[in-house]
Each structure stands twice: as structure tokens, then as C-alpha cells.
Amino acid sequence: MRQAVVIGANGGIGAALVARLDRSGEFDRVHALARPTLDLTDPASIERAAAGIAGPVALTIVATGLLHDGDRRPERSLKELDADWLLDQYRVNTVGPALVLRHFAPKLPRDDRGVIACLSARVGSISDNRLGGWYGYRAAKAALNQIVRTAAIELARTHRQAVCVALHPGTVETGLSAPFRGNVAAEKLFTPDYAAERLLVVLDGLTPAESGEIFAWDGARISP
């Protein structure tokens, strides 16, 4: 049985990914996982969710992210840094996806192509940082990119056809981007369905030689 998993299936991009994968007919079952079944801040729930899926999983996508929460916003300067908020961003944007890789990467097919991908962000690129600000989100996504890269190196030893990558979906009309998209040009603001379509196209075209890299919605490689 060919299976796919989408984590964060109750979010805008996650729900769109589930819908597209269901319609594609490529998978016998699409597991749509979200809180409370799987909570990225609850390691035990991640382990339980993985243990509840039998057999190989051909595609796993972590479609989650934390950029703001209530009155907590991305930090614009050093004086706004807060230890608890920094740690919360790391828990959701880095630690949670890392534990998904721990428990779901072993489910990739051993003798066939398998893909595991995490939504990251262009602002996680250190070399592309020209504006500053957004300390916690930038740092957490940069850390996620390193986790993905390191996991890809390890997987290449045991799952030779595996593709493990980070993805930048662009600016998408979801709750995550809502407070920050006022100045985004209409042609650069994507619907969740369009973002899901583009991300799946990108994943379909990747090979194991590109495992460990960061790719944007248009297929462009993003420098770490």
C-alpha cells in the first residue's frame, strides 16, 4: 500500500496538500495528522503517531510553522528578544520537525524512492539575510535547514533513493502570514491550493542527488 503523511493538516497549506494528494490517486491512503493527534510540542504524540502507521510511507510533509502567537510577533531588534518566545519558536519550527524526522524517516521505503520534506522559509537562509530582524523565526528555520541537511546525509547511507529536503512555499494566504502581507504584491501572494500544487511539483522532480537542499515553490535552490 502506497501511503503519504501530511503533518499540520489543519493549516492552510497542510489542508491543501491533503486535498491534492487525495485527488491525485497516487496514494492508497493519505494520513492527515494534526493536533491533538500529533502536536509538535509533544514528543510522545509524534512517536505515537508514527507507531500507528504500519508499512512504508512514500511521502511525508511537515507543513507547519510558528511566526506569531497572540501579541507575540517577530522581533525587530535585539531589545525585543525574549527567552520564552525564542524557545517556543524553536520548539515548533525546529525541534518538532526534527522529531518527525526521527520517527518518520525510518518509514521511508528501503528499495524505492521516498520523500520527506519540511516547510522552511527563505528568511532562514543566512546568506540571503539582507534586512535583519525576525531573530527567532530566522534562527529556528536556519536550524531546521541544518537538521534536514544532516538527516539527508544519514539517510543516504541506509535509504539510497530517499529525498529529504526543506521547502519555501512563498507568501501564502494563511494565518501565519496574515499580519505581514499588506505590502506583498498580488502576484506574489499565493492561495494555499496554488502553493500546495507548486510544492508537490517541486518534490516530484527531485532526485536523491538533491537531498539535503532547500527549494523554493518555483524549484529554485535557496542557499543556506
Take residue 93 and report the three cell numbers written for it: 519550527
Q: Which of helix, strand or coil describes residue 110?
A: coil
pLDDT of residue 179: 86
CATH number of 3-222: 3.40.50.720
Q: Taking residues 50-66, what's their average pLDDT?
A: 97
pLDDT of residue 211: 98
Conformational region of residue 91, where left means phi above 0, alpha means psi within -120 to 50, and beta covers everything else: alpha
pLDDT beyond 80 at 124: yes
pLDDT of residue 183: 76
What residue ranges do the domains of the chain occupy? Answer: 3-222
pLDDT of residue 184: 83
Take residue 172 and report the three cell numbers written for it: 501564502
For residue 129, give every residue at least 6 positions away whose Cβ sits within 8 Å of its Cβ, in sequence order, or none.
123, 138
140-192 pLDDT tens trace? 999 999 999 999 999 999 999 999 999 999 999 998 898 888 778 888 899 99
Take residue 199 and report the three cell numbers written for it: 510544492
Per the CB < 8 A criterion, the answer to whether 124 and 141 are in contact is yes
101-112 pLDDT tens trace? 999 999 999 999
Q: Taking residues 193-201, what's their average pLDDT?
A: 98
The strand pairing partners of 222, in sequence order, are 214
pLDDT beyond 80 at 115: yes
Sign (positive/negative) of CA torsion 145, 209, 204, 38?
negative
Per the CB < 8 A criterion, the answer to whether 152 and 133 are in contact is no
Side by side, which strands form the sheet with 29-33? 29-33, 3-7, 59-62, 114-119, 162-168, 214-216, 221-222
Q: Taking residues 124-143, what's their average pLDDT?
A: 96
Per-residue pLDDT band at 207 (split at 50, 70, 90): very high
Q: Taking residues 132-146, what's their average pLDDT?
A: 97
User: pLDDT exceeding 70 applies to what percent of the chain?
Assistant: 100
pLDDT of residue 178: 86
User: pLDDT exceeding 90 applies to what percent of the chain?
Assistant: 93
- Kind and range of the H or E run holding 96: helix 96-104
pLDDT beyond 80 at 94: yes
Q: How many CA atoms lie within 13 A of 77 on its CB side?
A: 1
Q: Taking residues 27-42, what's their average pLDDT?
A: 97
